[in-house]
Structure 1
Amino acid sequence: MTWQERLDKWKSYAQLDQDLSNQLNELKDNEKDLEDSFYKDLTFGTGGMRGMLGPGTNRMNIYTVRKAVEGLANYITKNVEHAKNRGVVIAYDSRYMSQEFAVEAAKVLGAHDIQAYVFETLRPTPLLSFAVRYLHTAAGIMITASHNPPEYNGFKVYNEDGGQVPLKEAAAIIEEVNKVEDELRVDVKTQAEIEEAGLLTWVGEKVDTAYLQAVKTIQKQTDEKTLNVVFTPLHGTAHDLVLKGLDQIGFKNVHVVAEQAHPDPEFSTVTSPNPEEHQAFEMAIEQGKDINADILIGTDPDADRLGVAVQDGKGSYQVLTGNQLGSLLLDYTLSHTKDEQLAHGQVIKTIVTTEMGRAIASHYGVNTIDTLTGFKFIGEKMKQFESDERNFLFGYEESYGYLMGDFVRDKDAVQIAVAACEMANYWKNQGKTLLEALDTLYAKHGYYLEGLQSLTLKGKDGAEQIAAIMEDIRKNPFVQLGGLKVVAVEDYASSKRQLPLEEKEEDITLPKENVMKFLLENDAWVCFRPSGTEPKIKSYFGVKTDSAAGSQSLLATIQAEVEERIEHIIHA
C-alpha cells in the first residue's frame, strides 16, 4: 500500500479513536508529516519499538501497540509453556499515553485469555525485569521511550528470563507481529471484561518489597554512611525505590531535587531527560553547591541509566562519563569480591565500551566477554552462565547502563545508584573523592579516554543519509586515523575481520549487526553504529596514552577526521 492508501484506510475506519481522528484532521494540509506518519509500519525491532506519538502506522498509538501485543501473544501461546496461565507483566513510565498503552496491552492479551499483571502506578524498567522473574510470567512488556524527547513513547519486550528478547526469539516475535495485517482490527476486550474474568491483576508493593530485599544483597560495606547525596529522578520513575534502597543500608543525608522529583511527561526542567547530557545535572549541581554534597546522582525517566557527578576540587562538580563510572564500579566490585567468586568470575561489556574494563578485570584474574551494543546481549550471556560454572560479577555499557546483581537482567539504575553511593562513601572514608580514585586507576592501567559523536537525521531522508554513511565507510574503509594505522577492520554485518597489515581475514563470532569497527595501533579504536531506537548514527572512539593531555589530543584529532569524513559523505 502507498502512504496515501494507508491514510485513506485510517480516515475511513468508522471506529477510529476520536483523539487520533482529531490529530489527523489537524495534519490534513501537512503532506510531509502525513507521509512520514504512514509511509511504513513503525519498526518492531529486536527489542521492541519506539517512535513519535500520533496517528499513523509509523507512530506510537493504541493501534500500533495492539498490533505489537497481538504478535507477542501469538508468539508466547505457541512457544512458551503454560503462557496463558503464567501471563505477562506490564509496567510503564511517566510519558504521555504510557498508562493507556499498558491497559491496551492487557486488553489484547485478555482477548487471547492470557493473564495480565499491570502495575498500579508507574515503575522503573529494571523492576519490570525483576517482576518477570519474581512472578514467573511468560513475558514482560515495558511501556517507555527511555530518555527520548517528550513526543516519543515505546514498547519493550522481555522474555521469561527477564531479559530483553535475544535475536532468535526477537526474529520469531517480529514474524508474528508482521503477520498482523490490519492494526485497526486487532481483537480486544474491554477493561471491565478482563477484570471481571480475572484476566487483569493489579500489582505493586509486594514486588517492590521483594526487589528492595534483592538490592540489599549487593551491599559490599557496612561502614558508617557519612556521604552527602543529591538525587534527581529527572521527572521519571526512580524516586521511591532509590530513596528506599539508600535508606535501607544506612544513607540518611540524601536530598532530592524538588523541581525534578515528580513525574512530568514534558520533562519541563531539562532540555533532555538524559543523565548522559550534562545539562540534566544543572539543578542538582546548584543544590549540591548549596549543601556541599559529596556526590550527585541522576536517573533517566525509566530508571535504567544512572549518571554521577562528583566534587572536582574547584568548587563545582564533574559529571563522570559512563566509561569512567563503569571502571570505578568494576574495580570496587572486584576488589570487594571473595577469591573463590573471582575464580570463575565473568565481566561482560559491549564492543563500544572502554577497554579499561578489560585491564581492570585482568588485574583481578577475571575474564572479560564482549557483546554487541545493547543490554539484551549481556542478559543473554548471564542466562548462559546458569548452565555452567561461570559466575556473573558485573556487566556494563558506555551509555550509563550497569548491573551488579543478577536478580535483574537489564541495566538497573536503582541498584547502581545504591552501589555508586556506597562506593563513594568507601572512598570518602579512605580520604579520596571518586575523581582521585579514578586517577589511581589511570596510574595503574594507563590513561584510557573515550568519545562519542551522535548525529541525528530524522525522517525518511535521514534514514537514507544514515544508510549512505554506513555504505561509504564499508566501501572506502579508513587506512589510518590520527596518524595511527588501521590494524583491523571489523564488519559485524558480514561477520568478517580484515587484518590489512597481515593480509588476513578472520570470522567474528558475534551476531550480525550493521556495525563497523576500526582497530588502530596503540589500542585506539573507532566504531560506527546506527541506533536501533533513535534516528541517529553514533561514532564511538577510544584511545590510550600515558597522560591525560596525550589522550585528549589524540582523541580530538581522530574525532575531527571522522567528523570531516561524515560531513563530506552527507553533502556529496
Structure 2
Amino acid sequence: MNTHLALRVRQWIHQDPDSQHSQQLQALLDNNNQAALTPLFAGRLAFGTAGIRGVVGPGPMHMNRLLVRQTSAGLGRYLTEQVKDAQQRGVIIGYDGRHDSKQFAEDAASVLLAMGFQVKLTYQVAATPLIAFGVKHFNAAAGIVVTASHNPPQYNGYKVYWENGAQIIPPHDSGIAACIDALADSDISLMALEHAHANGQLEWLQQDYYECYQAAVIQAPELTNHTRPQSVSLSYTAMHGVGAPLAITLLKQAGFTQVYSVAAQQFPDGNFPTVTFPNPEEPGAMDLVIAEAKAHSALLACANDPDADRFAVAVRTDTGEYQMLTGDQVGVLLGHYLLTHAKGNRGLVGNTIVSSSLLAKITEAIGGQSYTTLTGFKWLMNIGQQRQSEQQPFLFAYEEALGYTIGSTVWDKDGLSAQLAFAQLTAELASQGYTLWDRLSAIYREFGLHLNAQVSIKLEPSTPNIGEHLRAHPPRDIDGVAIESIDDIKCGLRRLADGRELAIDLPSSDVLIYRLVNGSRVIVRPSGTEPKIKCYYEVITTMAPSESLASAHRRASQQMEAFIKAHQASLPRA
C-alpha cells in the first residue's frame, strides 16, 4: 500500500471518536485494501457557502464526527480572528432529526467550548429557522445547524450563519476552509458538556426559547392579518422532519382551527420511511398530505421539508383535485399579498436570477423596490440587508426551489412563517369570495402569464465546453426570435443587440442569460466539473379577460415546449 496513504489512514484512526468507523478503516488497512481506502482519503469534503454536506461514513470525504470536530475547530479559529468579542458573544447550535445530528451538534459544541466560546445548544431537535433567528436574537458571533435538509437519509450536513443571521458568503467561506485545513492534522481539545453547563459556559435552549421564536413570528407585522382564519382548512406534513410542533402551534395561535396533520409523517425519523426522497418537489412526496386534504375536503395541502426551512403547497381545484403550485407561483402570490398590505405599498423584495421575472414587475407597479441576486439564499439575505432602507424596508424574498422569507424576523428561508403567511392570504381571499386561483389569474391578466421550466442535461465527455462555445459564438436568435440582450455574469457585462455594453452588479459566476424580444428568457449554467448544463426557461403569454387559467396555461406550455426544443437543438453536441 502507498506509504503516504497508510500514514494518513492511521492518523485519522488515531483521532476518530467513532469506533465503528475506526474499525472499518482498520480492517481495510489490515487487508491492504488500497482500492477501497483511496477514495475515502482522496481529499476532504469541501467547506463552501452552504457549509459542508455529504454521505455519513468514514474518512475525510464523508460526514462524520471527526470531520465535524475539525470543521468546528477551524470555524472557531476564524471567528476569533474576524469577529470582535466572538468568544463572549458565542455560538448558537441546533440540529435536525437525522440519526447522527445530535451527536454532531454535541461534538461541535465540545470543540467550541474548549476554545473558550460561550455556546447555546438546543435541548432537542430544532427547525433550521430557529437558529438563524437565534443568531440575531442573542447577538451571537455565529450559528451552526447540523442538517442535510431534504437530502436522502444517508446524508448529513453542517450549515453556518454569520453574525448578521444570514448564511456565509465570500470571503468567509474560503477563510473558514483555510482555517479548517490548517488545523486538520492537529489534536483537538474538547470540553465535556456537563462541565461546561456547570460552569455557565454552556446554556441549553429549552422550550421557552422555541416559544420566543413563536412569539416573534406571531407578532411580526407581516403576519398579523387575522381575517377569518377559522374558515380555512388545511392538511400538513412535516415529512418525517422537525417542523410539526412549531408549524401546528403557529397556525393555531393565529386562529386556524382546521389543521389536519399527517400522523405517519409527523415525528422525526431519520429513515424517512414513507417517502423515497424527503423533498416536497419530488414526485410522490406530497401523496400522503394530499390524501389527508382530500379526506377533509381541505383547501390546502401543505408541507415543510425535514428541517422546515422550505414550504410547499397543493391547492384544491374546482374539480376537488389538488394541484401543486410551483415555487414561483407561491413567491408571486406571497410577494403581491405582502406588498399590497405593506405601509404605503412599500418594501424591498428580492428573488434570484433563475426565478420568475414576474415579481419584479409586480413590485415596480405597486411601488416597492426589487433586487435580483445569484442563486441561493446566502445572496438574497446578505444583499437584502445591504439594500434595505427606511423608505424601502426589507419585506420579502424567495427562490423557485420553495424557499421564502417573510419580513426580517429570520434572515434565511423559513418554511414555518411562509406557511402562516400563505394561510392568511388564503383566508383573506376566502372572506372576499375568491380563491388562490382567482388571485393568480388576476395577476396573470395584468402582467402576463409567466411560465418557468428547468432542463438539466448530462452531456458526453467529448462535448465542447458549452460556456466557451456560447461566448465564442453568441447566438442572435432562438427559433427565429431575436435576442435582445445577453448577460454574461462571468465578466459582468450585458451586451445589447445594438452593440452597447452595460455593467452588471453581480458577483462573477459562470452564467449566461439570453433575453428575447418577445419577453422569453433562457439562462444557461454550464458545469465546470462535469459534462452537464442547466437551462432555465421563461415564456410569457397574454391572458384575455375571459380566458380561463387552464386555457392560458395550455398555450404557454405549448410555447414553452417549442422554446425548449429549439434552444436545445441549438446547443453544440459531441
Query: Which TM-score applies when normalising by structure 2?
Result: 0.90
Which position in structure 2 is the counterpart of 1:83? Answer: 86
Q: Does structure 1 conserve the Cα–Cα contact (< 8 Å) formed by 2:47 and 2:173?
A: no
Distance 2:326 2:6 in 1: 44
Over 3 Å counting, the alpha-carbon distance change for 1:76 and 1:14 in structure 2 is: closer
| Residue 162 of structure 1: how far off its partner (Å) | 0.8
Which position in structure 2 is the counterpart of 1:480? Answer: 477
1:171-320 matches, cutoff 5 A: 171-182=174-185, 185-216=187-218, 217=220, 218-225=222-229, 226-320=231-325
Q: Aligned match of 1:492 in 489, 494, 509?
A: 489
1:62-115 Cα distance to aligned partner (Å, 9 max, x none)? 122122211211111112121111110001111231111111111110221111
Over 3 Å counting, the alpha-carbon distance change for 1:329 and 1:141 in structure 2 is: same
Which position in structure 2 is the counterpart of 1:381? Answer: 383
1:297-321 Cα distance to aligned partner (Å, 9 max, x none)? 1011111110011012223100000
Which position in structure 2 is the counterpart of 1:540? Answer: 536
1:383-422 Cα distance to aligned partner (Å, 9 max, x none)? 2256654311211111111111201100110001111111
Distance 2:351 2:154 in 1: 31
| Residue 429 of structure 1: how far off its partner (Å) | 1.8
2:354 is paired with a residue whose SS is coil
2:535 is paired with a residue whose SS is strand
Distance 2:398 2:250 in 1: 20
Distance 1:7 1:280 in 2: 44
Which position in structure 2 is the counterpart of 1:424? Answer: 426
Distance 1:145 1:263 in 2: 13
1:321-332 matches, cutoff 5 A: 321-332=326-337
Distance 2:148 2:142 in 1: 19
Distance 1:436 1:531 in 2: 40
Which position in structure 2 is the counterpart of 1:153? Answer: 156
| Residue 471 of structure 1: how far off its partner (Å) | 4.8
* Counterpart residue identity of residue 292, structure 1: S
Which position in structure 1 is the counterpart of 2:73? Answer: 70
1:518-537 matches, cutoff 5 A: 518-529=514-525
Higher mean Cα deviation, 3-12 or 110-119?
3-12
Which position in structure 2 is the counterpart of 1:42? Answer: 45
Over 3 Å counting, the alpha-carbon distance change for 1:7 and 1:163 in structure 2 is: farther
2:286 is paired with a residue whose SS is helix
Distance 1:558 1:315 in 2: 32
Distance 2:67 2:237 in 1: 33
Which position in structure 1 is the counterpart of 2:445? Answer: 443
1:269 is paired with a residue whose SS is coil
Over 3 Å counting, the alpha-carbon distance change for 1:522 and 1:290 in structure 2 is: same
Which position in structure 1 is the counterpart of 2:14? Answer: 14
Q: Aligned match of 2:137 in 127, 134, 137?
A: 134
| Residue 285 of structure 1: how far off its partner (Å) | 1.2
2:84 is paired with a residue whose SS is coil
1:333-378 Cα distance to aligned partner (Å, 9 max, x none)? 1122221xx34x2111111111110121122111211111111112
Q: Does structure 2 conserve the Cα–Cα contact (< 8 Å) formed by 1:311 and 1:433?
A: no
2:439 is paired with a residue whose SS is helix
Distance 2:135 2:462 in 1: 39
1:347 is paired with a residue whose SS is strand
Higher mean Cα deviation, 50-59 or 533-542?
533-542
Distance 2:428 2:151 in 1: 34
Q: Structure 1 vs Structure 2: percent identity of aligned residues?
A: 35
| Residue 466 of structure 1: how far off its partner (Å) | 11
| Residue 435 of structure 1: how far off its partner (Å) | 1.9
Which position in structure 2 is the counterpart of 1:502? Answer: 498
| Residue 521 of structure 1: how far off its partner (Å) | 2.4
Distance 1:450 1:285 in 2: 24
| Residue 188 of structure 1: how far off its partner (Å) | 2.8
1:8-59 Cα distance to aligned partner (Å, 9 max, x none)? 5124533533121234367789877644432222111123111111112221
Distance 1:532 1:120 in 2: 42
* Counterpart residue identity of residue 203, structure 2: T
Distance 2:495 2:454 in 1: 24
2:189 is paired with a residue whose SS is coil
Q: Which runs of 5+ in 2 are unaligned?
A: 543-551
Q: Does structure 1 conserve the Cα–Cα contact (< 8 Å) formed by 2:75 and 2:176?
A: yes
Over 3 Å counting, the alpha-carbon distance change for 1:94 and 1:529 in structure 2 is: farther
Distance 1:121 1:199 in 2: 19
Distance 1:125 1:234 in 2: 15
1:280 is paired with a residue whose SS is coil
Which position in structure 2 is the counterpart of 1:358? Answer: 360
| Residue 536 of structure 1: how far off its partner (Å) | 8.0
Query: Which TM-score applies when normalising by structure 1?
Result: 0.90
Q: Aligned match of 1:111 in 88, 107, 114?
A: 114
Distance 1:533 1:279 in 2: 31
Over 3 Å counting, the alpha-carbon distance change for 1:87 and 1:7 in structure 2 is: farther
Distance 1:240 1:531 in 2: 40
Over 3 Å counting, the alpha-carbon distance change for 1:134 and 1:456 in structure 2 is: farther
1:526 is paired with a residue whose SS is strand
| Residue 151 of structure 1: how far off its partner (Å) | 1.3
Which position in structure 2 is the counterpart of 1:92? Answer: 95
In the alignment of these two chains, the number of paired residues is 558
* Counterpart residue identity of residue 412, structure 1: D
1:166-210 Cα distance to aligned partner (Å, 9 max, x none)? 32333332332332342x733333434434443322113222112
Distance 1:52 1:530 in 2: 25
Over 3 Å counting, the alpha-carbon distance change for 1:168 and 1:112 in structure 2 is: same
| Residue 424 of structure 1: how far off its partner (Å) | 1.0
2:338 is paired with a residue whose SS is helix
Distance 1:7 1:488 in 2: 55
* Counterpart residue identity of residue 51, structure 2: G
* Counterpart residue identity of residue 285, structure 1: I
1:109-142 Cα distance to aligned partner (Å, 9 max, x none)? 0221111111111111111110111111110001
Distance 1:180 1:506 in 2: 44
Over 3 Å counting, the alpha-carbon distance change for 1:400 and 1:31 in structure 2 is: farther
Distance 2:212 2:464 in 1: 45
* Counterpart residue identity of residue 480, structure 1: D
